[in-house]
Structure formats: structure tokens, C-alpha cells
Amino acid sequence: MASAQAVPVDEGANLEYAKHIRYWRRNLKTFLPHHYTGNDSMRMTLAFFILSAEDILGDLDGALSPEEREGFIEWVYACQLPNGCFRPSPATDFGSSRNDDNAIWDPAHVPGTFFALLILILLGDDLAQVKRPEILAWLTKLQRPDGSFGETIGVNGRIEGGNDTRFGYMVTGIRWILRGTVEGPIDGIPDINVDQFVRCIQASETYDGGISEAAFHEAHAGFASCAINALYLVDRLPLAAHQTPDNKIRGLTNLPQTLHWLAARQTLTIDEEDAFDTRGDETDSAATCHDAHSFVKLKSYPSATGEQAVRTQPTSHFELQWIGVNGRCNKIGDTCYAYWVGAPLKVLGHLDLLDKKAIRRWLLDKTQHIVGGFGKVPGAPPDIYHAYLGLVILAIFGEAGLKNVDAALCISNRAIRHLESLAWRKSIVG
């Protein structure tokens, strides 16, 4: 799907390739420390991040013996439920005690199923044991009348989980994997209501051009990314000027404004100290460092703090060396948002609206950790989530030594090509 990018040339900053491999091999081969207990019910997600990071680093074959590869594939299939979908962790498995009455507490799970499929694909499995019709039929039952999707089906058939775009993204990801962008019933298997899903995303577009979790909630890059990636996966992004209108409902009612909002996520506020508490302080001083502050002349200094801050502010443009990316207006930069902002821009064909060189330097100089991986902010210890998304955005930027990735599915193009080569899928997608 995606093609290779021009590599930003920069002498100073380096991706500590060997350290990242060491970091990810440790995650792969040894127990994760107990502070990951809060992720116990999403082990499939962690597993995907770990294996996909190894893939993007080109270390998958080096790290895995054929026996381990088979063993991991077996582990994923062991998470498959009788209805064909996947649980996200063995934590809910009742073993031989499972029955129809308690199955509700060990439910089929959207992220569990999405990440299980992605792992199988990147490990080279042919998905022959995946129950396509069952999974696809289940997706239609997860959709609410407003078009949004839930995470699981609970007591009395209630659709559980938030109605934000994350689940819609994963549902459309599963659908794309199992049937591409073809719409309508296939061989008697029903399809989700794509039009209604697009309407739901339109409703969560915000007054400032962003996208939120639901109508009238605050614009947030994570939800915007999921929404835009999902529109791409159902082929409902706005048409370009040269494309012939097809009368389909398409998402992003105001593309220029959404691009404006995405570009506005670049920030010079990259340290906790930059984002000093403005509570009770009406100054708009340079020291608050809200992006253009350093460059804008100040009209008045309403308080002593403000005046002091202005006097001590360095005047050069040195900060431009590092540009962070935030997830919401007036928030601090955070590694993961480089992906959540970069991925939709890539999908929309506008990655160049970001200052890739300065963002790359921020990641490599500021949030890359000495033991490998990336933390959330400068000085933070690496964690699997930020370490993975930091790596992926660098791959999207075209970092040398990393595999090309598909921005929307967040997986290597090599893995996507493997999926696209499978005979059963070719017969559907053509």
C-alpha cells in the first residue's frame, strides 16, 4: 500500500539500532516486569508491539528459531474462542470449566482479534485456521445504531466498551484483512453498515478541525488517527480533485481544516517544565513556550512573573532543532502522538506538512532511552507502547535500517504483502 519515503538526512541524531534490538529481544524472551500487570488483559496487544517491532527492525528471523515461531503461532491460536474470535489474554480462560453460561466472562474481543490476526500475518501464517465467516458475522453484531462499534458483547447482548473510534478502527482493520474493501454481503456473510460508520465519524469531527471520541467531545489525535485510518480501510476518505465522484458518503467534511489541526499538533512544549502551570496567571509570556510564543512580540506584561519570564527568554530559534508532537491543543509533546498525528497525515498523502527532521531529532535526542526503546517524554523510562510507536513513526519517515510500514495498519509492508499473496484473500479482493 505505502511506498518508500525520502530519508531525512541528519548527521547529529542516531537511531541506536543495537540497543533497540536488545530492548525488544528482552521483551520477547523474558517475563515483562510486574508493573505491566495493568496490561494483563491486553497481552495480545503487547505481543503484537513486541513482534512487530522486531519485524520493523529486521530482527524477526534473527531473534526467532523456527520452533519459537511455531510456538508463538500456537499461542495465538490457543487464544481463539469456539466462535472463531480471539480473547486478548489467557487471563480470562476457564479451561475445561468453560461452558455456555460462563462464556460471557471470556468474550470475543475486538482488540484481541485484531492484534491476533496481525501477529499471525507478520509471523507468516496463512490464516487457514482463522474462521473468517464467523469473525465477519460477529463484526456486524458489534455495531450500534449510531454506527459506532463496541469492544465485546456482554450481558443480554449489550454492546460493551466505549463508542469511540478505536474500536471502529480495529473492526475496519479486521474487515480489511479478511475481505479487503469490497462492500456488501459476500457468500452470504453480511457486511457492517459502512455508511452509518462514516456518519458516526462525521459526527465526531470537532469545531477546530480535529476528531474526538464522540460528538462534541474534545479533539484528540488518537481518535483522529483511528478515524482517518478507518476511513482509509473502508475506502471512504475524501476523493481527490481528479477522482470521479461516486456518490458515496465520505468522511472528513472539511479536509483543509483537519490538515490545519493535524499540523497544529507540532509543539515546542516538550518538557514538563515548559508546560508550567498557567493557573491563575493571565500572562502570555514567552516562557510558557506555547509554540510561537518565543517568536511573537508581547504587547504587555500583565504580571511580574510574565515580565521576568520574557527577560530571561533566549531569543534565538535554537528550539527549532527539536519539535515535539502533542495529542490535543495546549498539551505537552509525547512520543506516541508523533505516530497518532503522522499516520493520518501519511494516509491522507500529506506527511510533508510535518517537520520530519526536527521531529525525528526530538525522538532520537530527547525521548529515545539509553537502554533502547522510547519513553513518553524526555527522561521517562521506555515502555512497550511508546517504544513501538516511536519506532513506527521513524519507519514512516523513512529511517534507514527500518522496514517500510503501512501507516494505517501499523505493520510492515512486507507483512501486508504476505497477506495479499494468500490465495483465499486474492479470490475475494481480486
Cα separation of 264 and 341, whole Å? 10
Which residue, 41 or 308, is less far from another protein as judged by CB?
A: 41
Residue 216 as a binder of another protein (CB under 8 A): the answer is yes
3-state class (DSSP) for residue 172: helix
What residues from 251 to 280 belong to the interface with another protein (CB under 8 A)? 259-260, 263-264, 266-268, 277-280
Segment interacting with another protein, rule: CB under 8 A, options 13-21, 352-360, 387-395, 412-420: 352-360
* Residue in 375, 395, 378, 397 with CA at minimum distance from that of residue 386: 375
Binder of residue 287, out of another protein, Zn ion, none (CB less than 5 to 8 A by kind): none
- Counting Cβ atoms within 10 Å, is residue 273 exposed (0-12), middle (13-18) or buried (19+)? exposed
In whole angstroms, the minimum distance from the beta carbon of 233 to another protein comes to: 24
Which residue, 162 or 185, is less far from another protein as judged by CB?
A: 162
Amino acid at 9: V
CB atoms within 10 A of CB 429: 14
Residue 148 as a binder of another protein (CB under 8 A): the answer is no
Residue 47 as a binder of another protein (CB under 8 A): the answer is yes
CA triplet 116, 139, 389: central angle to 5 degrees?
40
Task: Say which residues have a Cβ less than 8 Å from residue 350's Cβ, sequence separation at least 6.
Answer: 259, 262
- Report whether 250 contacts 198 (CB < 8 A): yes
In whole angstroms, the minimum distance from the beta carbon of 92 to another protein comes to: 6
Q: What's the length of the chain?
A: 430
- Rg of the chain, C-alpha, whole Å: 23
Which residue, 146 or 428, is less far from another protein as judged by CB?
A: 146
Residue 93 as a binder of another protein (CB under 8 A): the answer is yes
In whole angstroms, the minimum distance from the beta carbon of 376 to Zn ion comes to: 5
Q: Which of 91, 239, 371, 428 touches another protein (CB under 8 A)?
A: 91
Q: Which of 245, 297, 314, 427 touches another protein (CB under 8 A)?
A: 297
Segment interacting with another protein, rule: CB under 8 A, options 12-20, 173-181, 200-208, 407-415: 200-208
Give the distance, in angstroms, between the CA of residue 421 and the centroid of all CA atoms in the same chain: 25
Give the distance, in angstroms, between the CA of residue 190 and the centroid of all CA atoms in the same chain: 27
Which residue, 205 or 334, is less far from Zn ion as judged by CB?
A: 334
Cα separation of 353 and 262, whole Å? 9
Cα separation of 18 and 372, whole Å? 8
In whole angstroms, the minimum distance from the beta carbon of 185 to another protein comes to: 31
CB atoms within 10 A of CB 57: 23
Which residue, 77 or 385, is less far from Zn ion as judged by CB?
A: 385
In whole angstroms, the minimum distance from the beta carbon of 367 to another protein comes to: 17
CA dihedral in degrees (82, 430, 230, 416; nearest 10)?
Answer: 80
Cα separation of 330 and 118, whole Å? 34
3-state class (DSSP) for residue 153: strand
Residue 31 as a binder of another protein (CB under 8 A): the answer is yes
Residue 353 as a binder of another protein (CB under 8 A): the answer is yes
Q: Which of 72, 197, 337, 339 touches another protein (CB under 8 A)?
A: 72
Amino acid at 426: K
Q: Which residues bind Zn ion (CB under 5 A)?
A: 334, 336, 376
Which residue, 175 or 220, is less far from Zn ion as judged by CB?
A: 220
Binder of residue 170, out of Zn ion, another protein, none (CB less than 5 to 8 A by kind): none
Residue 162 as a binder of another protein (CB under 8 A): the answer is yes
Which residue, 106 or 126, is less far from another protein as judged by CB?
A: 106
Q: Which of 10, 61, 146, 218 touches another protein (CB under 8 A)?
A: 218
Binder of residue 358, out of another protein, Zn ion, none (CB less than 5 to 8 A by kind): another protein
Q: Report the largest interatomic distance among the alpha carbons of the chain, rounded to a whole angstrom.
A: 73
Segment interacting with another protein, rule: CB under 8 A, options 16-24, 31-39, 125-133, 394-402: 31-39
Size of the site for another protein (CB under 8 A): 98
Binder of residue 273, out of Zn ion, another protein, none (CB less than 5 to 8 A by kind): none
- Report whether 36 contacts 104 (CB < 8 A): no
Cα separation of 422 and 62, whole Å? 24
